[in-house]
Amino acid sequence: MSFFAFLGMQYDFQWSVLWTGERGQWLLQGILTTLRLSLTSWVIACALGILSGALRTVPWKPLRLLAAVYVEFFRNVPLLVWLFFWYFGVPQALPRAAQDWLNHHGPEFWSAVAGLSVYHGARISEVIRAGIQSVPKTLLEASVATGLSVLQAYRLIVVPIALRLIVPPATNESLNLLKNSSLALTIGVAELTFMTRQIETYTAKAFEALTAGTLIYLVLCLGIASIMGQVERRFRIPGLIARAGRAEH
Amino acid sequence: MIQFRGVNKWFGPLHVLKDIDLRVSPGEVLVVCGPSGSGKSTLIRCINKLEPIQRGEIVVDGMPLHDSATDITKLRAEVGMVFQQFNLYPHMTVLLNITLAPMKVRKHSREEAGRIARDLLAKVGIPEKAGQYPAQLSGGQQQRVAIARALAMQPKIMLFDEPTSALDPEMINEVLDVMVNLAKEGMTMIVVTHEMGFAKKVAHRVIFMDEGRIVEEGSPGEFFANPKEERTRAFLGKILVH
Ligand SMILES: Nc1ncnc2c1ncn2[C@@H]1O[C@H](COP(=O)(O)OP(=O)(O)OP(=O)(O)O)[C@@H](O)[C@H]1O
Ligand SMILES: [Mg+2]
């Protein structure tokens, strides 16, 4: 505080605005919503990404094309546009029953899930494709030569190896998803950024509120990065990736 | 057991197999040699349809490859293949490398597949490596695991594509010994190799390929002692000097 005073700032810090009264609840709820939104979207994005990423490498052109269209269509439009599209556009086109379901289960939240997972699914797809393509083709040949079907070879050999190779870029993409979930505030999802803005509006303590938001995102991201680091070590291929990994650093 | 009739194959404009006629009987050991790019790998990769052919017919164990009704995975289960670069599954232990296909294709139980795998590991001389990962083994050990992996399917035919050319000299014999034993047990084998010692010891027949054609064939005795074709003599002159 004296440091800011030294700079000639006359700002009166009140960190307690973050936790007094119902505002402590706000922050906590914001964190939980951010986590729920990110995690749900992440699971769906991974499923979409793995499926379409794998399809982009199969030796059958129509499937490759289909997956490529998905990827290029969704990753080349800004996420914000997609969020508006899924929130304002799509529900109107849904059947009555689906609209009712949405209205009871939070249309903002599920539109944000749709936007985030489809957009990031397309980006994860690229990561997966690169991973699969870096698995030597001869391994696929060796597996089918033993009598495994192409599908089995993918499921048991190619994809598991690719997944291990892509942990670092996938971590990166997961962190992007978490950070991008803050855009959901634009369609009214009460996630972390939304809540910090709300605290700011009610207390006029912008510095405290935004500092809290910043630090919370930082802690969440560092937490995820360290979990993914453990995943990487846990699934490291003995003697192989360990060596490659060390050589890279 | 294996029959090629007028087989032709192209890679785009490149004509890599030209009018191949070949017959391999059950229990026969056939060695294929020839200069780089002559089509040796392509020839044996056609046998389990890793490469499709454009003209001619191949029949393997009574199953016609060109017939779309032939179940190709079933055929591949009967044909073991060993590659120059081992191609073991790096994320699986040696034991799982060997048991995977028997469990998934032959539907053996884990115990049964494990028992077969351990027997095979003993046979190729590395029973203690079951729990290791491929990258923790030497090249010669990896190639012996690859042979065990192929044998675990109890195939009727074994294909070898230069199984020792990626190995350091001191490891070549440990792999060749395994192959010699296999040949003596009566396995039908097609081996692409330049190991002429191996050919002399166990091959029933040697074929020499050049520019996509089978230029010469004969028993190892006559093939090495007096090759008829000039191209064969030139080739043998080169590899026997090295
Ligand atoms: N997938 C492919 N696409 C295009 N051309 C290929 C392909 N595979 C092989 N060829 C070409 O086909 C010819 C025969 O190749 P092949 O690998 O059968 O030769 P090889 O006798 O096994 O040679 P080497 O001793 O070097 O292994 C070569 O000219 C090669 O360049
Ligand atoms: Mg070759």
- The CATH number of whichever domain residue A174 belongs to comes to 1.10.3720.10
pLDDT of residue A2: 58
> For chain A, how many structural domains are there in total?
1
* Residue of the CA atom closest to atom 2 of ligand 1: B11
pLDDT of residue A246: 39
Mapped onto helix, strand or coil, the DSSP state of residue B208 is strand
Average pLDDT over residues A167-179: 93
Per residue in B156-215, pLDDT tens? 999 999 999 999 999 999 999 999 999 999 999 999 999 999 999 999 999 999 999 999
Residue showing tokens 């070949």: B22
Does residue A8 sit within a domain?
A: no
Task: Please check whether residue B166 is in contact with residue B139, taking contact to mean a CB–CB distance below 8 angstroms.
Answer: yes
Average pLDDT over residues A151-156: 92
User: How sure is the predictor about B242, in pLDDT bands with cuts at 50, 70 and 90?
Assistant: low
User: How sure is the predictor about A245, in pLDDT bands with cuts at 50, 70 and 90?
Assistant: very low
Average pLDDT over residues B210-237: 91
Does the structure show a pLDDT above 60 at A140?
Answer: yes
Task: Please check whether residue B8 is in contact with residue B18, taking contact to mean a CB–CB distance below 8 angstroms.
Answer: yes
Interface test with A, best of B47, B83, B84, B89 (most A CBs within 10 A): B89
CA of B190 to the centre of ligand 2 (A): 13
Residue B194: nearest ligand to its CA? 1
Does the structure show a pLDDT above 80 at A45?
Answer: yes
Report yes or no: B163 at the A interface, CB cutoff 8 Å.
no
Does residue A212 sit within a domain?
A: yes
pLDDT of residue A8: 65
Closest CA to A228 of A146, A174, A171: A171
- Say what the ipTM of the complex is: 0.91
Average pLDDT over residues B216-242: 87
pLDDT of residue A9: 66
Instruction: State how far the Cα of A190 lies from the Cα of B149, in Å rounded to an integer.
Output: 56
CA of A48 to the centre of ligand 2 (A): 39
Does the structure show a pLDDT above 70 at A3?
Answer: no
* Residue of the CA atom closest to atom 31 of ligand 1: B37
Instruction: State how far the Cα of A116 lies from the Cα of A122, in Å rounded to an integer.
Output: 10
Please give the model's pTM, rounded to 2 decimal places.
0.81
Two structure tokens written together for A69: 């269209």
Query: How far apart, in Å, are the Cα atoms of B14 and each of A93, A138, B37?
Result: 54, 21, 11
Closest CA to B180 of B162, B152, B164, B203: B203
Instruction: State how far the Cα of A219 lies from the Cα of A224, in Å rounded to an integer.
Output: 9
Report yes or no: A204 at the B interface, CB cutoff 8 Å.
no
Give the closest-approach CA distance of A168 to chain B in angstroms: 17
Question: What's the whole-number average pLDDT of chain A?
Answer: 88
Q: Flag if A138 and B76 touch (Cβ within 8 Å).
A: no
pLDDT of residue B166: 92
Residues 36-55 of B with CB under 8 A from A: 48, 50
Q: Flag if A146 and B100 touch (Cβ within 8 Å).
A: yes
Q: At what angle do helices A192-203 and A23-55 cross, to 10 degrees?
A: 150
Per residue in A114-134, pLDDT tens? 999 999 999 999 999 999 899
pLDDT of residue B7: 95
Query: How far apart, in Å, are the Cα atoms of B53 and each of A61, A217, B30, B235?
Result: 20, 58, 21, 27
* Residue of the CA atom closest to atom 4 of ligand 1: B11
Does residue A88 sit within a domain?
A: yes
User: How many contacts, defined by CB atoms under 8 Å, are there between A and B?
Assistant: 79
Provide the residue count of chain A: 249
Per residue in B17-58, pLDDT tens? 999 999 999 999 999 999 999 999 999 999 999 999 999 999
Task: Please check whether residue A119 is in contact with residue A86, taking contact to mean a CB–CB distance below 8 angstroms.
Answer: no
pLDDT of residue A20: 80
Parent domain of A33: 24-248
Closest CA to B210 of B184, B182, B183, B236: B236
B78 neighbourhood in chain A, CB within 8 Å: 147
User: How sure is the predictor about A174, in pLDDT bands with cuts at 50, 70 and 90?
Assistant: very high
Does residue A157 sit within a domain?
A: yes
Query: How large is the greatest C-alpha to C-alpha distance in chain A, in angstroms?
Result: 77
CA of A85 to the centre of ligand 1 (A): 52
Task: Please check whether residue B239 is in contact with residue B196, taking contact to mean a CB–CB distance below 8 angstroms.
Answer: yes
Does residue A196 sit within a domain?
A: yes
Instruction: Nearest chain B residue to A165 by CA: give it.
Output: B91
Question: What's the whole-number average pLDDT of chain B?
Answer: 94
Does residue A5 sit within a domain?
A: no
pLDDT of residue A242: 45
Q: What is the DSSP letter of A85?
A: I
Does residue A19 sit within a domain?
A: no
Of B93 and A4, which is predicted with more confidence?
B93
